[in-house]
Amino acid sequence: MSSTSHLSKNLPPLAERIRPQGLSEFIGQKNLIHENSLLNKAVVSKQPFSLIFWGPPGTGKTTLARILSREFGAEYFELSAISSGVKQVREILEKGKTSFESGKRSILFIDEIHRFTKSQQDALLHGVEEGSITLIGATTENPSFEVISPLLSRCRVLRLHPLNDLDLECVIKRALENDILLSQKNLQIDDQTKFFLIESCGGDARKMLNTLELAVSLHSEERATIKKEDIKEALQQKNIIYDKAGDYHYDVISAFIKSVRGSDPDAAVYWLAVMLEGGEKPEFIARRLIILAAEDIGNAEPYALQLATAAFDAVHRIGMPESRIILSQITTYLAGVPKSNAAYKAIDSALENIRENGAGPVPLHLRNAPTNLMKSEGYGKDYKYAHSFDNHFVEQNYFPEFFNAAPQFYNPQNEGREKFLKERLGKLWKDRY
């Protein structure tokens, strides 16, 4: 057994072994740690503040929290929201208060703070408010949705982004040169393999390092060449950073809908593939397309709603993997047809009018008159039956009488089939269309 293999059994994972110990060693997130940044100024002035790091996995949230505690010279506590409860939080708050009274600062780092219940988050409020504890939370979810408002208002939210290719290449270089194990091996990795590894991790440095470490472990010899096949075997499949319950879920569905709305079938199919590969329920996607058919296509292509509804039914009946074909068909169709949001804007405009002005009484001539009493009160009097007139149309007022002029809520566009509607309505209601 080689010395390195024996040593490896007694060491933490690669990502932990090369974790930066200071801001000068930290790679990425230049927007947060540059010389004039809020964080750097706080470190220089030794004035910590409560904050929440928001970003995807492997972007340095935990590392930054630990670095800041050292830079501030603070007592450091770390909890995982998954395994900790109110009791543990209160115990740390008491320790923090004791330290604070003796002139020493304390930092409490809570990983996945979005998983804390309201009562757990409430327990943090007093300590954060009085300054006896400095809170650093880490979350992959949008904190405005997952963190209670009183706590959120006492913290600065700092956004972390996936590491770019250059940053990740620097991380690989550090691992190969500085790690106690990898530096002892004469490892070779060509640029093609290196960038395949980088592209496969989705900006997640921890994922990348875990994959690299596993790929290296496939070679028992001290001198080895890491090939693309090694990365594939270690990786099994490319990292799809899609969490059906997470923030990225909403980002992807947003990109998907906007691509269809923007009449780009290629981009739409790409985001569709991301969702399907990430395990998204096909019914969820189909439901969103039904809404889009009405909201963004409307009367420019009225059949779109009918076909989107049929697609949902087909997806529900068929299931995966065949549903991918149905979803691709309806996605490319909806992306390709003319667009109009006139119907969507019409109902919202009408609702706004009613909310501001209230709903007016129904004019007497439009009211139903099933009894003689109602007829005697004028219900239905002077109503003009459209089918009794040429072209099945007669001009009359259909609005409450308090309108000085008939408002226009529906503004048909010159797209697809809606162009015909606009031309017809223009002939019928010349003052409006």
Each residue of 58-87: pLDDT tens digit?
999 999 999 999 999 999 999 988 788 888
pLDDT of amino acid 1: 45
Q: Are residues 169 and 110 in the same domain?
A: no
Q: What is the pLDDT of residues 104-156, one digit of tens each?
A: 899 999 998 988 888 889 989 989 998 899 999 999 888 888 899 999 999 99
Q: Each residue of 290-326: pLDDT tens digit? A: 999 999 999 999 999 999 999 999 998 888 889 999 9
Band (pLDDT 50/70/90 cuts) for residue 187 is confident
CA distance 162 to 202: 7
Residue that terminates a domain, selected from 159, 184, 214: 159
Q: What pLDDT is stored for residue 8 in this prediction?
A: 55
Q: For residues 254 and 373, state if they share a domain.
A: no
pLDDT at 239: 54
Domain range for residue 121? 29-159
Beta bridge partners of 288: none
Tell me, yes or no, whether 36 and 147 share the same domain.
yes
Task: pLDDT band for 410, please (50, 70, 90 cuts).
Answer: very high
Is 238's pLDDT higher than 60? no
Of 163, 154, 152, the residue nearest 26 (C-alpha): 163
Say whether both 40 and 151 belong to one domain. Answer: yes
Is the same domain home to 226 and 254?
A: no
From 336, 368, 398, the end of a domain falls on 336
For the ranges 183-187, 195-199, 340-344, the lowest mean pLDDT is seen at 183-187
Mean pLDDT of the chain: 89
- Do the beta carbons of residue 429 and residue 408 sit within 8 Å? no
Tell me which of 235, 269, 284 is where a domain ends. 235
- What's the pLDDT band for 404 if we cut at 50, 70, 90? confident
> Does residue 108 share a domain with residue 42?
yes
- Asked whether residue 351 is domain-assigned, the answer is no
Which CATH number covers residue 392?
A: 1.10.3710
